[in-house]
Structure 1
Amino acid sequence: MNTERLKIINGKIITPFRILQGGTVLVANGKIEALSQGDIEAGDAQVIDAKGNYVAPGFIDIHVHGGGGHDFMDNSLTAFLEIAKLHARHGTTALTPTTLTAEKRDLIQTLELYDQAHRENTQGAQFIGMHLEGPYFALNQRGAQDPRYIRDPDPEEYKALVPHFPSIKRWSAAPELKGALDFGHYMRTHGVLPAIAHTDALYDDVLEAFEKGYTHVTHLYSCMNGVVRRNAFRYAGVVESAYLMDEMTVEIIADGIHVPAPLLKLVYKIKGPDKVALITDAMRAAGMPPGESILGSLTGGLKVIVEDDVAKLPDRSSFAGSVATADRLVRNMVTLADVPLTDAVRMMTSTPAAIMGIEKTKGKLEQGMDADIIIFDASISVDTTIVGGRIIFRKEA
């Protein structure tokens, strides 16, 4: 346990309800001990002067594949730790390592490495469980997912993996596939969030899937149907279904490219900040210069090109993951979508925490919550990142 006491002063503190001007946050034993609009006496605490900048809960990224030249499916401890460090420098204090559709042995190696990486990760964003993205997808909505490994849900496979790897907290799948409803029910009853992704589902499919536990949509608008026309008749797709179902939560890649400004505004207007999580969906090229890169593992991944601030397949027929970081997402919601800063922060903190079921400990600046705290300026440039009461990043003066 981190026993160091920290005292953050002169900050604009973003609470769930308001911004406290000139506020103070006191941290002890890895938790938030107190907040105040004025000073808090704590003579033994290390003082951090926010210098009038914003003090916010740490960002929570519930869909991230890599960054800093590494991918979680490289299956190396170094990759896990370096990805965590890269995203912490941009304000992320908690994240879910995310896999891609791959050979079963590669997936198992990634899962086997998680526990060690979780224990040894002391200098980066905290790992809050694994997100398996695939392999149970609709083939023609695969995007950049490797078609060689896409298949229908296999009960023998997932019923062996989930009990053996309690780190699995989320699994994305196409709910219209054979066996997908049973898969969703199994996930929900075993404490795993089933999410709708890479899918050709229509409204009736989504409604039935929601009843089986699919209460979340993975990267809304990407690799899924909107309105579909079949034999002259129109049908609502996943996008419209997500809007119609008030309790359905969604996530968006708010890099301004996967989801452009008008759609960012539309998602916010219809769903509101409590049902929308911002995600990076970042691949290994996040934080790296443009040029050639690889989506997925170094050995079995797909070659991609990073240009125009996004990763693309070499033939430029599809995006291949984003290179965004969390600070960019919040900045885009404010500058491109005209969202109030407090709501933009909520979509990167308390909302993803609630989706992942960790809202009692993370996502808000409140007494007793984990001391996951960031300090950033008016342009959402991160100055300081604190995870569990430990300072893990401070921008050089």
Structure 2
Amino acid sequence: MTLTKIFNGKILTPHRIINGGCVIIENGIIREVSKKNIEIDDAAEIDAHGKYIAPGFIDLHIHGGGGADFMDGTEEAFLTIAETHAKYGTTSMVPTTLTSEKEDLLKTLDLYEIANKNNKKGAQFLGMHLEGPYFAMSQRGAQDPRYIRDPDPEEYKEVLAHSSSITRWSAAPELKGAIDFAKYLKSKGVLAALAHTDAIYEEVLEGFENGYTLATHLYSGMSGVTRRNAFRYAGVIESAFIIDAMDVEIIADGIHLPAPLLKLIMKIKGPDRIALITDAMRAAGMPEGDSVLGPLKTGLKVIVEDGVAKLPDRSSFAGSVATADRLVRNMINMADVSLLDAVKMITVTPARIMNVHDRKGSLVSGKDADIVIFDENILVEKTIVSGRVIYNA
């Protein structure tokens, strides 16, 4: 039996901040969160030095970091990304693909299985997120148009049969066959998310009723108010606001969404329906300059400057380079969100969305000891996964 005590910090729970208490960890599980500093013999001690003790950050949507991308085709890429983002407080992540050839997708799924077994030094993996290829061509963004198509039952059933590690799949709900696709995902326990879509409210509502309960990177790659034959129609953005029970994820890097939009989303959806995501590409945690979006060998050349990836002609953004600490900091400083609510949106809420809230997302007895210690500026000092310190500043 191994015992660890974290003390002398400000413990963040979903509802309050506990000063002067401690967190007791036993064999990688939280045994107790106390309002007092309990004396325990033979326990390893971690002094938080007055800093915040929070649940580990959960990133639902991430493509890369540390110079690697999950589509690079190597186990090393998976492990590099997990270790890179652990430095910024991420303790769990959902590795995300890009639209690609089916063979490349299946290879990535196989590599996930290998990397997941060997991932000892980085953020844990919570299953794979397939982003595409079932998208609206008009909202493809940086997704490769060569592979975009309508849902193919033979194809997606083969992919889902190939791997049990798929936990979410993003698609456009208005496409032919997209509703049957969502029903099939639901039958397999896979979360359907709407993304890169030109749907109008009626199509979004039908999608929501059949399983599309999460809006992927709200505002990015989706329709707003549009006109058809002179009549106005609510798009996906407005639909996500109207449907109270729909969850949304947002790239809170302060660039994809400026402060007024962050405030608007917060005002309408609230912290219980918002998940903060990095949607980070390989340049996250790296110096600015030239980089590649997508697979290293076949991806799109981009330039990273001003805290974001851009097309070489600077005509458009080409990916996020955010880290989890930056998301929390931005919500506090740009959107006037409280620390507790900002942390909730990258811990409690994503844990519920991914159905791992029984073991992750909050500092509660019986849950995994995934913990991050950070200061007033959300600068990470320690990252702890299952009771093990995997990053120490």
TM-score (norm. length: structure 1): 0.98
Within the alignment, does 1:293 sit opposite 2:282 as a pair?
no
> For 2:356 and 2:305, how far apart are their aligned partners in 1?
35
Q: Which residue of 1 aligns with 2:197?
A: 199
Q: Which residue of 2 aligns with 1:82?
A: 80
Q: Which residue of 1 aligns with 2:173?
A: 175
Residue 291 of structure 1: how far off its partner (Å): 1.1
Aligned pairs for 1:295-374 (under 5 A) are: 295-374=293-372
SS in 2 for 1:144: coil
Residue 299 of structure 1: how far off its partner (Å): 1.5
SS in 1 for 2:220: coil
Residue 363 of structure 1: how far off its partner (Å): 0.1
Asked if the contact 1:184/1:194 (under 8 Å) is kept, the reply is yes
| Stretch moving more, 161-170 or 248-257 | 161-170
Asked if the contact 2:106/2:162 (under 8 Å) is kept, the reply is no
Identity %: 67
Q: Alpha-carbon deviations, 1:144-187, whole Å to 9, x = none?
A: 11111111111111111112211000000001111111101110
SS in 1 for 2:261: helix
Q: Which amino acid aligns with 1:259?
A: L
Residue 316 of structure 1: how far off its partner (Å): 2.6
> For 2:43 and 2:261, how far apart are their aligned partners in 1?
45
SS in 1 for 2:120: coil
Asked if the contact 1:4/1:389 (under 8 Å) is kept, the reply is no
> For 2:23 and 2:209, how far apart are their aligned partners in 1?
42
| Stretch moving more, 162-171 or 85-94 | 162-171
Gaps of 5+ in 2: none
SS in 2 for 1:274: coil
Asked if the contact 1:97/1:131 (under 8 Å) is kept, the reply is yes
Asked if the contact 1:169/1:192 (under 8 Å) is kept, the reply is yes
Gaps of 5+ in 1: none
> For 2:259 and 2:238, how far apart are their aligned partners in 1?
18
Equivalent pairs counted in the alignment come to: 393
> For 2:43 and 2:227, how far apart are their aligned partners in 1?
63
Q: Alpha-carbon deviations, 1:222-257, whole Å to 9, x = none?
A: 011111122221110000000000100000000001
> For 1:318 and 1:182, how far apart are their aligned partners in 2?
34
Asked if the contact 1:72/1:97 (under 8 Å) is kept, the reply is yes
Aligned residue among 16, 19, 23 for 2:17: 19
Aligned pairs for 1:205-216 (under 5 A) are: 205-216=203-214
Report runs of 4+ in structure 1 exceeding 4 Å deviation: none
Asked if the contact 1:143/1:319 (under 8 Å) is kept, the reply is no
Q: Alpha-carbon deviations, 1:13-44, whole Å to 9, x = none?
A: 00111000122001011100111121112211
Q: Which residue of 1 aligns with 2:232?
A: 234
Asked if the contact 2:12/2:54 (under 8 Å) is kept, the reply is yes
Q: Which amino acid aligns with 1:264?
A: L
Q: Which residue of 2 aligns with 1:265?
A: 263
SS in 2 for 1:35: strand
